[in-house]
Amino acid sequence: MKKMYVALMAFMFLLSGVFASFSVSSVTVSPTQASPGQFGTITFVITNADTLNSVQGVTMEVRKSDYITMTNQLVIGDLGPGSTTTLSVPFRVEQNTPTGIYTIDITVYGLSKIPSGTGTQSESKKIASTVKVVVPPALQFSLDNNHLTEISSTNLIIRNDGGIAKKVYISIANSDIGLLNQDVVYVDQLGKNATIPIGIDARNAQEGSQKLQLKITYEDELGNSYNTSRDLSISIKKESGDFVFTQESSIVTGKESKVKVRIKNEGDDAQDIRLSIASSNIQLVGVSELQIGNLKRGESAVVEVPLLANVEPGTTSANFDLKWVENGQSREGTKSVPIKVSSDADVGVYFEAKPTPLYPNSEYTISVTVSNLGSYPIEATTTTFSSDAFELLSIQPEQYIGGLSKDDFSSVQYKVRTKDIAPGTYPLSITVKYRDASGEWVEKTKSINVSVLPQPAQKNGSIETIAIAIVVVLALIYWFVLRPKKTATKK
């Protein structure tokens, strides 16, 4: 009987320690994402599970960031037996709050009756809520020159009065106007302002006033996506002339190149066509004028033009001055011809495996370092791992590096395991993809052969040494102790 009483008292003691007379549940934050200066509420439910006794002196205490304004303490009062109350606590995000995720810790206190006695005990319940605060980007677009010709080089000016914008894609939605030699303009990260050189092809557009329709997608710092559009007022003036020029080979910035250019005559028959270039950034090399010859209506010819482009990579315009004879009359004209200048972009790719050497069925870390060997920055750089000898353990084959300035480098790591393979030499490839300064995507694959060695044999040398030593000792004992000795013969 005494043992039963002791066990009952112990049970009541434990029950008094674990019994919770009230609980806090159904915690919600509205809005789930706020902007600086915005108001919100945290709502939660307090329930008294004790149907016989009240929870007395219920209070609330708040711990939070200085960027969040709300009451630090609140007296709620008593909570009747079996009752439930819902609280909505307002808060305000300060106007100077940077983008981020902020935690609000709320502790609810109360006095409840001890189940096994007549006294009261203090209880507390903690809840943690998070408020996402984002400063949305506020982008404005303009052109530094709104007066366009059929082919124009201009600057797209972006002003950002809000938070940082990432992965900005800009395209032209007009059916008769487009970007020259590219589909979209891409900006990896946009702070306050950006000036982006672009080429605009308006050869199919009507002359006069137009609306350039921009389609823009981007993300804020928390990864929220935005889609918007902007209309820019432009005027288009058609050029005179019946010749169409098309670039058919590349030119690298800062290097002399013989660029293949196709010229097509879409007007009347032309004789004695001569070409010179009046642009300062793109110049003829070695000659002042090219003799093209005669072209009938609809005919075309490909000429090699010796050029030197002292411009940054991208599309620029060169003024081609033309002289020819048409219907017996000497004529002159100037055509603005788009010339795409390529970058001298190149990357170095370097490998390092740790630890070494490599054995089958073993884990390793392979570091890949990418360096920018070109004269201009590259952006959106990624690496992709490929090898039949390894399996990746924790990540996808593609890893993101981002932008690299001239002479800059960055490294990524791959956790791998060698497969159950025979010892030998196996290929390992890394494909580096990046966008160069001219806006072109470039891929480069670097392959190496890695040697996988056989697992080292188990060392049994110590056992063999001990065995040999025992044999030697036994031989010595036999020779000096147990061997029958010859009896000396008396003379």
286: left (phi over 0), alpha (psi -120 to 50) or beta: left
Average pLDDT of span 306-332: 84
Taking 60 as the threshold, does the pLDDT of residue 183 lie above it? yes
pLDDT single digits (tens) 220-260 = 988 899 999 999 999 987 655 578 888 888 888 888 888 89
Range scoring the smallest mean pLDDT among 59-63, 147-151, 397-401, 474-478: 474-478
pLDDT at 488: 43
- Sole residue written with tokens 């589909």: 183
DSSP state of 407: T
Rounded Cα–Cα distance for residues 110 and 24 (Å):
12
How many CB atoms are located within 10 Å of the residue 387 CB? 21
Q: Which helix H or strand E contains 471, and what residues bound it? A: helix 461-477
Range scoring the smallest mean pLDDT among 101-105, 432-436, 480-484: 480-484
Rounded Cα–Cα distance for residues 367 and 416 (Å):
11
pLDDT single digits (tens) 68-91 = 999 889 899 998 998 999 999 999
Homologous superfamily (CATH) for 347-452: Immunoglobulins (2.60.40.10)
pLDDT single digits (tens) 256-265 = 888 899 999 8
Q: By C-alpha distance, which of 155, 166, 44 is closest to 108?
A: 44
Structure tokens at 57: 């002196």
Rounded Cα–Cα distance for residues 194 and 418 (Å):
46
Structure tokens at 399: 């890893």
Rounded Cα–Cα distance for residues 215 and 227 (Å):
8
pTM value is 0.49
Q: Is 366 helix (H, G, I), strand (E, B) or coil?
A: strand
Q: Which helix H or strand E contains 195, and what residues bound it? A: strand 193-201
Rounded Cα–Cα distance for residues 22 and 77 (Å):
13
Taking 80 as the threshold, does the pLDDT of residue 460 lie above it? no
Rounded Cα–Cα distance for residues 114 and 120 (Å):
5
Q: Which amino acid is at 8?
A: L
Give domain limits for the chain: 18-133, 139-236, 243-342, 347-452
pLDDT single digits (tens) 110-123 = 988 877 667 788 88
Is there a shared CATH topology between the 243-342 domain and the 347-452 domain?
yes
Fold of 139-236: Immunoglobulin-like (2.60.40)
Average pLDDT of span 270-287: 86
DSSP assignments along 86-124, one per residue: EEEEEEEE-TTPPSEEEEEEEEEEEEEE-TTSSSEEEEE
Taking 70 as the threshold, does the pLDDT of residue 8 lie above it? no
Rounded Cα–Cα distance for residues 252 and 341 (Å):
6
Average predicted confidence (pLDDT) for the chain: 84
User: 18-133 domain in CATH 2.60.40.1760?
Assistant: no
Fold of 243-342: Immunoglobulin-like (2.60.40)
Q: Is 264 helix (H, G, I), strand (E, B) or coil?
A: strand
Q: Which helix H or strand E contains 188, and what residues bound it? A: strand 185-190
Average pLDDT of span 410-432: 91
Instruction: Read off the pLDDT band of 480 (50, 70, 90).
Output: low
Taking 60 as the threshold, does the pLDDT of residue 479 lie above it? no
Is residue 383 within 8 A of residue 412, CB to CB? The reply is: yes
Rounded Cα–Cα distance for residues 28 and 6 (Å):
45
